[in-house]
Structure 1
Amino acid sequence: MIVALIDSGFGLLPTAAWLRRMRPDLDLMLSMDPECAPWGPKPADWVADHVVSIARRAVDRGADVVVLPCNTASVTALEHVRADLGDDVPVVGTVPAIKPAAAVCKSVAIWATAATTSSRYQADLIERFGNGSEVVGVACHGLADAIDRGDREGADRAIADAVARTPGDVEGIVLGCTHYPLVADSIVARFPEGVRLFDSAEAVARQTLRRLADLDAAEPGTREFDDRSGASGRVEVYLSGRRGALPPGAEAFAAGRELLAATTAT
Structure 2
Amino acid sequence: MKIALVDSGIGLLAAAAAVRGLRPDAALVLSSDPGTMPWGPRTPGEVSAYALACARAAAAHRPDALIVACNTASVAALPALRAELEPGLPVIGTVPAVKPAAAAGGPVAVWATPATTGSDYQRDLIRDFADGVPTAEVPCPGLADAVERADESAIDAAVAAAAALTPPGVASVVLGCTHYELVADRIRAAVATAPAPPVTLFGSATAVAAQALRRIGARPDPEAARSGDLTVLLGGTEAELPPAALAYAEGRVLGAVSPARG
The interval holding the TM-score normalised by the smaller chain is: over 0.9
| 1:197 partner SS | strand
Q: Superposition RMSD on alpha carbons, in Å?
A: 2.0
Q: CA deviation at 1:263?
A: 3.8
| 1:114 partner SS | coil
Partner of 2:205: 201
Supply the distance in 2 between the matched residues of 1:48 and 1:265 (Cα, whole angstroms): 28
Q: Which moved more, 1:123-132 or 1:229-238?
A: 229-238
Give the conservation status (yes or no) of the 8 Å contact 2:98–2:174: yes
Structure-2-length-normalised TM-score? 0.92
Partner of 2:252: 257
Counterparts in 2 of 1:231 and 1:147: CA distance versus 1, 3 Å: closer
Partner of 1:247: 242
Partner of 2:28: 28
- Identity among equivalent pairs (%): 50
Q: CA deviation at 1:253?
A: 1.0
Structure 1 residues 36-79: Cα deviation after superposition (integer angstroms, max 9, x where no partner): 11111111112112312321232222122111010011001111
Query: Which stretches in structure 1 are left out of the alignment for 5+ residues?
Result: 217-224
Structure 1 residues 167-192: Cα deviation after superposition (integer angstroms, max 9, x where no partner): 01111100000110100111111213
Give the conservation status (yes or no) of the 8 Å contact 1:236–1:263: no
Structure 1: which 4+ aligned runs deviate by more than 4 Å?
A: none
Query: Which stretches in structure 2 are left out of the alignment for 5+ residues?
Result: none
Q: CA deviation at 1:226?
A: 10
Give the conservation status (yes or no) of the 8 Å contact 2:39–2:72: yes
Partner of 1:220: none
Supply the distance in 2 between the matched residues of 1:263 and 1:128 (Cα, whole angstroms): 43
Counterparts in 2 of 1:24 and 1:167: CA distance versus 1, 3 Å: same
Superposed, which structure 2 residues align to 1:137-176 within 5 Å? 137-176=137-176
Give the conservation status (yes or no) of the 8 Å contact 2:240–2:259: no
Give the conservation status (yes or no) of the 8 Å contact 1:151–1:252: no
Give the aligned residue type for 1:104: A
| 1:81 partner SS | helix
Supply the distance in 2 between the matched residues of 1:255 and 1:226 (Cα, whole angstroms): 19
Partner of 2:98: 98
Give the conservation status (yes or no) of the 8 Å contact 1:171–1:196: yes
Question: Number of residue pairs matched?
Answer: 256
Give the aligned residue type for 2:217: A
Partner of 1:185: 185
Supply the distance in 2 between the matched residues of 1:53 and 1:32 (Cα, whole angstroms): 9
Give the aligned residue type for 2:7: D
Superposed, which structure 2 residues align to 1:107-146 within 5 Å? 107-146=107-146
Structure-1-length-normalised TM-score? 0.91
Partner of 1:221: none
